Each structure stands twice: as structure tokens, then as C-alpha cells.
Amino acid sequence: MDSNLIRIFIADDHHLFREGIVSLLRDAQDIIVAGEAENGEQLYTKYFEILPDIILSDISMPLISGIEAIYKIKQMDKSAKVLFLSMYDSEEFIYYTLKAGGLGLASKNIIKSELINAIRIVNKGNYYFGKNYNEEDISLLIEKFDSILSPQIDLNDISLSPREIQTLKFISEGFTSKEIADKLEVSKRTVDTHRTHLMSKLNLRTLPELIKFAIQFSFKEQMKEEK
């Protein structure tokens, strides 16, 4: 096999989206799709069978999230290169993907030429978070979120129900109230009530504050599980 080829592994729970990525990359002569996964568990297990050059992974997937799968992979193979694809590319999600070990985050609405460019950048071991972020911007973003996302909340003094913890996890992965409701098999109104209770218990005023806290909380929970 040509050593200059970039072997990528696509992980997304939507078959049509994976097909779309394969189609977009078909004309890129230096890129080949080496494998696919439809959930986080498949991503984790198949990665070590295929050992691709780059993983293209969704953040939110069934069984375990893309973030969790990548975090586990990076514990075993620190050289793994990951470009996350998501509908969510705000600063807090950039921070979350960085903390999980990703080198980049691209919008699922990315155009073909930019996706190919992003893959080539990540393959060289460099960061890709769109044209608005350079290496210095990334360093500043990490410093910013390391300080403002370190919750001054002692969770030992706060009683969160199992459903509230589940809701926090799904919020951290970018799911909407409707999507969370479908996963928990409850009404959207029930999920909105969980959100309201969480914000009250955690003394948070806005939804962005809740999202930021949920991301930090989820990351810390992953760290505890690995210890």
C-alpha cells in the first residue's frame, strides 16, 4: 500500500452521513477510507484492528459517545489522531474535544475542499478548528476554560438524581431537550424540568453556563473512571 495514503476511519451512527463522507473523499487521491463504525463501542474495538492514520468521529453516538471512545483509545494509543465532526463547534466543545485528545473539530456542514484540508492538517499532527483558530488561539482557549470551567461547586454537598446526572451527560454531548427525551423515553417537558432543577441546584443562571458545567463535569467523571 502507498505509504503516502492517509487511512481514515469514520465513526457516526448515521449511515447516510458516513456514505456522504465516503463520497466526498472519493476524489482525494491521497485519502482512503479504511473502516467505519456506527457507535462508540465499535469505534473503540475496530480502531485497534484497523489502526488508521486518522479517526473522523461524531461526538454523540449510541452506547458510548465519540468523546468517551476517543478518550479510551488515547489511553492505549497516545499517537491516535482524531478529527471530530459535529453540528456543535462552539468554544466549549472545542475545549472538550481537546481534553479528550482530539486534534480538531469541524462542523458537519463543512465543504469538501475544507474537509480534505482539515484531514491533511490533522494527519501532520497539527490542530484544526476552522480558519478562525491558530495555535496561539487554541492555547488561550485552553487557559480560559481551565479557569472558568473549574466548578467552584462541591458536588458532595449537592444531591443529584441519577436522571439529572444522565441529563448532564447528554447536555455535555450537545443533545437537545427533544433528543434527550427520546433517549430517556420521557417527555421533552420532563427533560426541561431536569434542566431547571439542575440550574437551580448548581446556582447557574443561563443555559450556556449549564452546558459549560456539564462538559467539565462529564470530563471529570471520565477521569475518575480511569483511575
For residue range 88-132, list pLDDT tens digits in order: 777 878 887 888 889 999 988 889 999 999 999 999 999 999 888
Angle at 39 between CA 128 and CA 54, to 5 degrees: 30
Domains 6-145 and 155-226 share a fold: no
Write phi, then psi, for 156 (nearest 5 degrees).
Answer: -70, -20
CATH of the structural domain 6-145, one choice from 3.40.50.10140, 3.40.50.2300, 3.40.1710.10, 3.40.50.1390: 3.40.50.2300
Domain coordinates of the chain in residue numbers?
6-145, 155-226
Amino acid at 198: L
Task: List, for residues 46-69, the tens digit of each pLDDT value.
Answer: 999 999 999 999 988 888 888 888
CATH architecture of the domain 155-226 equals: Orthogonal Bundle (1.10)
Q: What is the pLDDT of residue 38?
A: 94
Answer yes or no: is pLDDT of 84 > 60: yes
Share of the chain above pLDDT 70, in %: 89
Residues contacting residue 54 through CB under 8 Å, at least 6 positions apart: 6, 7, 8, 9, 81, 82, 83, 119, 122, 123
